[in-house]
Structure 1
């Protein structure tokens, strides 16, 4: 099974500089970034290993990751406009 990577640099390559700048300058962004990458790593690990996880659990993890991604994207867009 091929695992699709969902790290922010793959998801939003156009925001490479903003991602770096916000990680350094914005504590809230850095915390959300870390949470997002932990969630992404866990989902990818479970999917890659074929670890038996019930559908509801994996869906909850993916929903959490998506919520974090939406928050991060909003911050990136705002930063780019500023």
Structure 2
């Protein structure tokens, strides 16, 4: 997946928290790591889904669940920081 496409996905993920995401990616190493891992996993899933043979692959479902857990953690951190800020 191209970086530009990935950036568009990120902007659509939590549009109300774009400034906070930018700040936390710069200031919070834990958040930055989770955020980057989420993006990398998204790219990996997209690549796997390009091959029709992989569409019935249980590994993709597992990766999607892992990505969703990361997204939940990202949202939790964003919510905590939004309330504190």
Which of the five TM-score ranges fits, normalised by the shorter chain?
A: 0.7 to 0.9
More helix by share: 2
Give 5+ residue unaligned stretches, structure 1: none
- Give the match for residue 70 of structure 2: 68
Please say if 1:41 is aligned against 2:43: yes
- Number of aligned positions between the proteins: 77
RMSD between superposed Cα atoms in Å: 1.7
Q: Distance in 1 between matches of 2:53 and 2:69?
A: 24
TM normalised by structure 1 equals: 0.83
Greater RCO (CA < 8 Å, at least 6 residues apart): 1
Q: Distance in 1 between matches of 2:39 and 2:52?
A: 19
Check conservation: 1:7, 1:37, Cα contact below 8 A: no
Structure 2 SS opposite 1:20: helix
- Give the match for residue 11 of structure 1: 13
Q: Distance in 2 between matches of 1:55 and 1:46?
A: 9
TM normalised by structure 2 equals: 0.81
Please say if 1:52 is aligned against 2:40: no
- Match for residue 32 of structure 2 among 12, 30, 33: 30
